[in-house]
Structure 1
Amino acid sequence: MKKLLGLIAIMALGVTTTFAQTPATAIAPAKKVVKKEVKTVAAPVKKDAKAATTTVKTTTTTAASTLKKDGTPDMRLKANKAKAVTKPAAPVKKDGTPDMRYKENKAAAKKNK
């Protein structure tokens, strides 16, 4: 009997710990979209003509949508890719120091002396 109660207690403990390990799901914030509705009224051309009204809906996104959540530019957009393509003036090593195997870097080093 004690063994049976011990097994039931171990199973109950095991089941409760497996449910306790599931992570909570977070709801992602929705993107902000600004919608504007513009109504225009055309003047009647003839006395018998009725005024025509048209409705134009435009949607614009905020400029913050070009940035990621961490503030870095989103490279999926064409405008951000064009800004990122900047070629360095002279070749550099991986650590950022000028590579002295090239003429441009040797000339710049002589100027600085």
Structure 2
Amino acid sequence: MKKLLTLAAMLFMGLSTTLVSAQSKTAKKTTTTTQTVKTKKDGSPDLRYKTNTSTSTKKVVGPVKKDGTADMRYKANKTTTTVSKTTKKKP
């Protein structure tokens, strides 16, 4: 009886290792992944996902704050805009 159980155990171990190695060979197939844009129902990109947000970095000329944004206390970071003042003439 011991010989029969030993033979069955060896047979089981031999089959299990064969099946495991056969499965690992088929699992090594390479797959190509493409980035897909997640969209809302209306078709516009869903900006809650990182792949849909564009990280357009604006070049900062002058000093920056700790978070990387331009420090607007300095003249180099301020954009120059001309404001025309109009004065009303008294009738």
TM-score (normalised: structure 1): 0.24
Bigger strand share = 1
